[in-house]
Amino acid sequence: MKPNDELPSEHRDLPGRGDGDSKPASELPGPLSENWTRSTVENSRHSAAGMQFGLTIVVFAGGGYFLDRWLDSSPWCLLAAVALGFAGGLYSLLRQMPTGRTK
């Protein structure tokens, strides 16, 4: 590895380049920092809740579609199932979201 003075100017001030100023990985910006990890976990939680909401509607819509075909009642079971799926997905979504209150 090159000494600091031989590095390109944009890399000279980076920690961990042999200048004795190295910081632990948890204090560095990027994938190992605590803030990055916390925001990734929160984003994953919100993404999973959104996927569950969408999949709930799709599953109920599929059930309504097949129920319509079986009962020959198109489109009433499908519409009722989509409404139930939306309501159930919204209820589940709201239960999973934080309330904003701190303990």
Q: What is the pLDDT of residues 11-68, one digit of tens each?
A: 555 555 555 555 665 565 565 556 667 778 888 888 898 999 999 999 999 999 999 9
Domain residue ranges in the chain: 49-97
Burial of 78 (0-12, 13-18, 19+ CB in 10 A): buried
DSSP classification of residue 20: S
Question: What pLDDT was estimated at residue 16?
Answer: 52
Check residues 9 and 59 and name the one with the higher pLDDT: 59
Cβ contact 78:68 at 8 Å? yes
Question: What pLDDT was estimated at residue 67?
Answer: 95
Question: What pLDDT was estimated at residue 2?
Answer: 47
Q: Write down the H helix ranges in the chain.
A: 34-71, 76-96
Measured distance CA(1)–CA(18) in Å, rounded:
9
- Does the global pTM surpass 0.85? no
